[in-house]
């Protein structure tokens, strides 16, 4: 099968090839170009996929599949991003010398992308500080504040598929080490595009005059995080299991456990060392089916009381408890369940301040805040928003992200969250309670909240836009058998309110459905929240709402 190759895409690929410093992607692209020039239709289509667009730089930075081309993660794209970000920082610091901390995890090419960035930042006249080795994302977020840096870059794709990588950007100063938000993203993107349009990465100055941070920055993070919850007496002899999901979390966590006085866990040996191939999981995300199966098997073997799991860059935390009704004998708690427990913990000791969660997370946190006389903020999805909530003492989002120590890290942190949950569990053990008992006590105190999610993955992301447009053009009057009371379209939010491509449906029985596109994956998501008179009632309401929501997001 053959097809004529478009001259435009051939020229774009050739220009890219000429500036690519990576032998692997040069070889990959050269072979693809040869096939396309000979009329191979598959190769032509592949070139169009790689060059008809480029990975967009936004508030989540960059994230995509590894490979050659402007629509892939590679050394050319990362070099352009680093040069553009350097130009942005120079423009934002007239007369001064901006500083940037660079971190990286254990994914393929993370170390290469980090070194390229450090050389380009240094070549632009910035003070560039490369972290000493592969480390968790929270350590980079901590390091931005620790060094008083202007910005930070973390090379990671977090819990994305094995072939992905990414580039996450933080700002220091008044932003206190939070991830970027608008308009900084658009301004950085404009600088990156200017570099890309020059199509000459080789002309971008580089220097090896960058610093490599010593271990003191890691020591400082360990010391600060151990103080989140020093081990109480109930921690003695506590049997538990931990997995790093082939990521970088355990080395740092182990040091914190020893400092804080917790017993070390039984680790899932097959997943404890960093491995960018992620050989034992199809998708290195604790939320995905099958990802925690080895943890469950390990826990059954050693008689563990609970399981903790970090995602590969350790900014998220999953918790599982024994459950005889679950297929594996273990049940992973939802992010809402963990977030509500940690919010309760924070509220009990807070002296003023606010609890915050993303607007798609459980409304139960607002109930906790009101119970303790604290402020509450519902933000757009993402810790770039949660971390900026005024007076924040605790924040979370349902996708396993928790911010328990805002004075130290202004981002989700799966390691400090692990220490906080260990403290909760150990305190409960002192009175003969388990984590399941704490969940029951929460419900008895604040109400029986239940949450769920319907997620529709698509191959063509334009389908998501069509579904959202249809829901706006013909707003639903019912979800299942329950009438819709009102709909909030956050594209038309009032000034000062969260705004975005989000529809929030309030139902007559007090339930809530929120529909939004995923910010990092080709998915449309519907978030479901109910409050029942009992656990059984809440479960029944949620099941009915789930059925109705599936029709809602697939029918258009």
Q: What is the 3-state secondary structure (H, E, C) of 470-485?
A: HHHHCCCCEECCEEEE
Residues 116 and 206 in one domain: yes
Between the alpha carbon of residue 523 and those of residues 98, 223, 441, 461, 470, the distances in Å are 37, 39, 35, 8, 16
Contact 449, 531 (CB under 8 A): yes
Catalytic residue from among 110, 117, 158, 387: 158
Three-state SS across 344-404? HHHHHHCCCCEEEEECCCCCHHHHHHHHCCCEEEEECCCHHHHCCCCCEEEEEECCCEEEC
Give the integer Cα–Cα distance in Å for 193 and 197. Answer: 6
Residues 345 and 472 in one domain: no
| Domain end point (choices 420, 445, 470) | 445
38 is catalytic: no
Residues 231 and 295 in one domain: yes
Q: What pLDDT does 2 receive?
A: 56
Kindly report the CATH number assigned to the domain that includes residue 97: 3.40.120.10
Task: Tell me the two tokens of residue 527.
Answer: 């978030």
Q: Cα dihedral sign for 190, 192, 196, 198?
A: positive
Residues 267 and 339 in one domain: yes
Residues 410 and 526 in one domain: no
Q: What pLDDT does 313 receive?
A: 97
Task: Tell me the two tokens of residue 117.
Answer: 């960035």
Task: Tell me the two tokens of residue 459.
Answer: 């191959």
Q: What pLDDT does 60 receive?
A: 83
Kindly report the CATH number assigned to the domain that includes residue 527: 3.30.310.50
| Domain end point (choices 397, 428, 445) | 445
Residues 432 and 454 in one domain: no
| Domain end point (choices 187, 214, 241) | 214
Q: What pLDDT does 58 receive?
A: 85
* The pairing of beta strand 164-171 with beta strand 178-179: antiparallel
Task: Tell me the two tokens of residue 313.
Answer: 């860059």
Return per-residue pLDDT of the chain as tens, 556 residues. Answer: 555 668 889 999 999 999 999 999 999 999 999 999 999 999 999 999 999 999 999 878 999 999 999 999 999 999 999 999 999 999 999 889 999 999 999 999 999 999 999 999 999 999 999 999 999 999 999 999 999 999 999 999 999 999 999 999 999 999 999 999 989 999 999 999 999 999 899 999 999 999 999 999 999 999 999 999 999 999 999 999 999 999 999 999 999 999 999 999 999 999 999 999 999 998 999 999 999 999 999 999 999 999 999 999 999 999 999 999 998 899 999 999 999 999 999 999 999 999 999 999 999 999 999 999 999 999 988 999 999 999 999 999 999 999 999 999 999 999 999 999 999 999 999 999 999 999 999 999 999 999 999 988 888 888 899 999 999 999 999 999 999 999 999 998 777 777 789 999 999 999 999 999 987 678 899 999 999 999 999 999 999 999 999 998 885 5
Q: What pLDDT does 370 receive?
A: 98
At what angle are helices 414-430 and 335-349 packed, to 10 degrees? 70
Q: Which residues span the domain enclosing 476?
A: 447-554
Which uninterrupted H or E stretch holds 90? helix 75-92
Of residues 360, 365, 364, the one with CA closest to residue 346: 365
290: left (phi over 0), alpha (psi -120 to 50) or beta: left
Residues 84 and 148 in one domain: yes
Sheet holding 448-457, edge to edge: 448-457, 523-532, 512-517, 503-507, 482-489, 478-479
Residues 434 and 367 in one domain: yes
Contact 394, 403 (CB under 8 A): yes
Between the alpha carbon of residue 156 and those of residues 108, 136, 147, 284, 339, the distances in Å are 9, 9, 21, 13, 24
Task: Tell me the two tokens of residue 6.
Answer: 């478009």
Total domain count, the chain: 4
Contact 278, 284 (CB under 8 A): yes
Sheet holding 266-267, edge to edge: 266-267, 240-243, 306-310, 317-322, 330-332
Give the integer Cα–Cα distance in Å for 87 and 116. Answer: 16
Q: Cα dihedral sign for 209, 25, 33, 13?
A: negative
| Buried residues in 84-102 as b, exposed as e (16+ CB within 10 A) | bbbbbbbebeeeeebbbbb
Start-to-end CA distance of the chain, whole Å, equals: 36
Q: What pLDDT does 229 receive?
A: 98
Torsion angles phi and psi, residue 419, rounded to 5: -65, -40
Residues 274 and 180 in one domain: no
For the stretch 166-189, pLDDT in tens is 999 999 999 999 999 989 999 999
Residues 229 and 325 in one domain: yes
Residues 445, 450, 453: CA angle, nearest 5 degrees: 155
Residues 391 and 426 in one domain: yes
Residues 308 and 412 in one domain: yes
Q: CA gyration radius for the chain? A: 24
Q: Cα dihedral sign for 474, 480, 484, 487?
A: negative
Please list, in sequence order, all residues whose beta carbon lies within 8 angstroms of the beta carbon of residue 151, skipping any fewer than 6 positions away: 85, 89, 98, 99, 100, 101, 144, 169, 170, 171, 172
Q: What pLDDT does 520 receive?
A: 67
């Amino acid at each position: 099968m053959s097809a004529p190759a478009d001259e435009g895409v051939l020229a774009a690929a050739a220009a890219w090839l000429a500036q690519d410093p990576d032998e692997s992607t040069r070889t990959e692209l050269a072979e693809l170009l040869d096939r396309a020039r000979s009329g191979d239709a598959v190769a032509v289509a592949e070139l169009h996929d790689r060059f008809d667009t480029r990975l967009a730089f936004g508030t989540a930075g960059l994230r995509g599949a590894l490979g050659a081309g402007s629509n892939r993660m590679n050394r050319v794209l990362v070099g352009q991003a680093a040069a553009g970000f350097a130009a942005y920082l120079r423009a934002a610091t007239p007369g001064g010398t901006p500083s940037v901390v660079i971190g990286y995890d254990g994914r393929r090419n993370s170390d290469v992308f980090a070194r390229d960035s450090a050389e380009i930042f240094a070549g632009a006249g910035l003070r560039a500080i490369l972290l000493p080795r592969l480390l968790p994302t929270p350590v980079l977020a901590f390091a931005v504040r620790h060094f008083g840096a202007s910005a930070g870059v973390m090379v990671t794709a977090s819990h994305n598929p094995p072939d992905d990588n990414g580039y996450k950007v933080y700002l220091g100063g008044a932003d206190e080490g939070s991830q970027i938000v608008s308009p900084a993203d658009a301004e950085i993107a404009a600088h990156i595009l200017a570099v890309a349009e020059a199509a000459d990465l080789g002309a971008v100055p580089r220097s090896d005059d960058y610093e490599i941070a010593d271990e003191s920055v890691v020591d400082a993070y360990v010391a600060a995080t151990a103080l989140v919850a020093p081990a109480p007496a109930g921690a003695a002899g506590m049997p538990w299991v931990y997995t790093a999901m082939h990521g970088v979390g355990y080395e740092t966590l182990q040091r914190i456990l020893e400092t804080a006085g917790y017993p070390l866990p039984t680790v899932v040996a097959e997943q404890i060392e960093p491995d960018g191939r992620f050989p034992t999981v199809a998708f290195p995300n604790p939320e995905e089916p099958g990802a925690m199966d080895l943890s469950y098997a390990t826990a059954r073997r050693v008689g563990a009381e609970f399981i903790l799991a970090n995602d590969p860059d350790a900014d998220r935390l999953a918790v599982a408890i024994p459950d005889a009704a679950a297929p594996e004998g273990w049940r992973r708690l939802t992010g809402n369940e963990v977030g509500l427990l940690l919010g309760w913990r924070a509220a009990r000791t807070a002296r003023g301040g606010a609890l915050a969660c993303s607007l798609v997370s459980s409304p139960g946190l607002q109930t906790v805040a009101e119970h303790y006389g604290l402020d509450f903020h519902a933000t757009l999805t993402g810790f770039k928003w949660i971390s900026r909530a005024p007076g924040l003492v605790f924040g979370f989002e349902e996708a396993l992200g928790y911010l328990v120590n805002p004075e130290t890290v202004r981002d989700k942190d799966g390691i400090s969250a692990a220490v906080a949950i260990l403290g909760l569990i150990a305190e409960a053990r002192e009175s003969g309670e388990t984590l399941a008992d704490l969940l029951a006590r929460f419900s008895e105190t604040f109400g029986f909240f239940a949450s769920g999610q319907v997620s529709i993955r698509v191959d063509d992301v334009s389908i998501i836009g069509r579904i959202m447009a249809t829901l706006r053009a013909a707003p639903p009057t019912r979800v299942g058998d329950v009438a819709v009371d009102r709909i909030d379209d956050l594209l038309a939010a009032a000034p000062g309110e969260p705004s975005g491509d989000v529809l929030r449906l309030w139902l007559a029985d007090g339930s809530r459905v929120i529909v939004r596109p995923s910010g990092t994956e080709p998915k449309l998501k519907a978030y479901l929240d109910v409050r029942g008179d009992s656990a059984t009632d809440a479960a029944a309401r949620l099941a009915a709402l789930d059925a109705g929501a599936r029709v809602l997001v697939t029918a258009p």
